[in-house]
Amino acid sequence: MSKTIAIVGAGVGGLTAALCLTRRGFEVDIIEQAALLTEVGAGLQISPNASRILAELGLLGALEAVWTEPDAITLADGMSLRPLASVASGRFARDRWHAPYGVLHRASLQRILLAAVEAEPRCHLHLGHRIDGDPQRAIAAITGRTPTLIVGADGIWSRLRNTVPGAGRVQFSGNVAWRMTVTRHAAAGLLRPDRVSAFLGSRAHLVAYPLREIDGFNLVAIIEGKETDSVWVGKDADVRRHDYLAAFSAWNHGLRTLLKNADSPSYWPLCTVSDGAWQDGAKTVLIGDAAHAMTPFAAQGAAMAIEDASALATCLADTNDITLALRVFETGRRPRIAQVRRRAAFNRFAYHARGPLRIGRNVILSMKGPEALAADFDWLYGYGAPAR
């Protein structure tokens, strides 16, 4: 196989794929519509299954310089603040899953990936070019060469997905997220800087974690929404904000005040991509959100894009038969993605439970000891780790 690959999209998936592919000897063009790479949204949790791959790419030192490795991931009741469960992280994560669990600003991860891409002579980044129409032709016009393979890493609203017969479709998940940040001072007494804190309530939950870069916390509040909430525009912003604060009206007063006073909350209808083909057996393969965008209930979307990037590079390096490589990639990754989707769906059910289900959930969680709680994550975080 000729070794020229074009990647459309320079998000987490596209940049990681570029690094994984060039490490395997491929020449890579990355085409990105944005003229400047700036990340929207604030924080990101990078679990051990993803940090292991970033470490293999030699990026761990740069990550450690900016991120926080929380000591624990805790679940608490959003009304009473009563602790429900705590999964050890920090040193424990490194020992158990052989890789760290870190939280950082999205812009930091993007800056680290971009610096590595720019330092790699076989990576050619083309900013400010949107791919529309026939991708092969559009790419050749930008790069001056026709790629052997196009990797669609162009996110949930992927343009490349239209070129893959039988690919999935975008659908509204029934939930919306509000993303925001608060200062350390504003969160004093409520949020701990050494924790990922998840607060659970009926039809809503809130996740908070520290961001060193802003000396504060990232907050993601997820509530149930109606079909009319699936679009970004069309509803008055104040009405929307009122609806969202109403979803937390029975919550702990301190958390309500935190949400009310948070800096510029931004609205995200949560969409997913339904099951469908990820590749056409010849010219195009989709990775990350373009292939299988999922809800963030397991905080795994970016991690899956990183895993895809690494797996695809391995498959392409293993054979000169591109059809075989794409088939092996897709069949190898499908069960993993399905399992992570199931975990996200389960979390959604458990986190937003109400009435007797909520009581049952709390009883089950309180009966699980630290070992059982950690063991529940072995398949997810231990993926790709050396056997214990």
Catalytic residues: 209
224/230 Cα distance (integer angstroms): 11
* Shortest reach from residue 129's CB to ligand FAD, in Å: 6
Handedness of CA 258, 263, 269, 272 (dihedral sign): negative
- Whether 225 and 242 have beta carbons less than 8 Å apart is answered as no
Range 126-155, binding ligand FAD (CB under 6 A) = 130-131, 153-155
Single residue of 5, 10, 73, 125 touching ligand FAD by CB under 6 A: 10
* Shortest reach from residue 320's CB to ligand FAD, in Å: 27
> What element of type H or E holds 5?
strand 4-8
Single residue of 60, 167, 176, 305 touching ligand FAD by CB under 6 A: 305
Handedness of CA 88, 91, 96, 102 (dihedral sign): positive
Single residue of 102, 201, 265, 296 touching ligand FAD by CB under 6 A: 296
Single residue of 14, 100, 147, 382 touching ligand FAD by CB under 6 A: 14
Closer CB to ligand FAD, 44 or 255, in the complex: 44
Starting at the edge strand that comes first in sequence, how are the strands of the sheet with 72-77 ordered?
83-88, 72-77, 195-201, 204-211, 216-224, 170-183, 263-273
Report if residue 12 touches ligand FAD, rule: CB under 6 A. yes
* Shortest reach from residue 367's CB to ligand FAD, in Å: 28
Report if residue 300 touches ligand FAD, rule: CB under 6 A. yes
* Shortest reach from residue 207's CB to ligand FAD, in Å: 8
DSSP conformational letter for 49? H
* Shortest reach from residue 14's CB to ligand FAD, in Å: 5
Q: Exposed (0-12), middle (13-18) or buried (19+): which is 212, by Cβ within 10 Å? A: middle
Report if residue 34 touches ligand FAD, rule: CB under 6 A. yes
* Shortest reach from residue 232's CB to ligand FAD, in Å: 13
DSSP string, 285-337: EE-THHHH---GGGS-HHHHHHHHHHHHHHHHHH-S-HHHHHHHHHHHHHHHH
Residue 146, number of CB atoms within 10 A of its CB = 13
Range 215-254, binding ligand FAD (CB under 6 A) = 220
Structure tokens at 342: 């199931």
Residue 329, CA atoms < 13 Å, CB-side half-sphere:
32
**Could you tell me which of 255, 258, 216 has the C-alpha nearest to residue 104?**
216
The piece of 289-297, 351-359, 366-374, 375-383 that touches ligand FAD (CB under 6 A) is 289-297
Closer CB to ligand FAD, 198 or 325, in the complex: 198
Number of residues that bind ligand FAD (CB under 6 A): 34
Range 320-359, binding ligand FAD (CB under 6 A) = none
The piece of 25-33, 63-71, 90-98, 166-174 that touches ligand FAD (CB under 6 A) is 25-33
**Could you tell me which of 189, 190, 214, 175 has the C-alpha nearest to residue 43?**
214
Structure tokens at 370: 């630290």
Report if residue 8 touches ligand FAD, rule: CB under 6 A. yes
The piece of 73-81, 298-306, 341-349, 350-358 that touches ligand FAD (CB under 6 A) is 298-306
* Shortest reach from residue 366's CB to ligand FAD, in Å: 26
Which spans of this chain sit near ligand FAD (rule: CB under 6 A)?
8-14, 31-34, 44-45, 130-131, 153-155, 159, 177, 179, 220, 268, 270, 288-290, 296, 299-303, 305
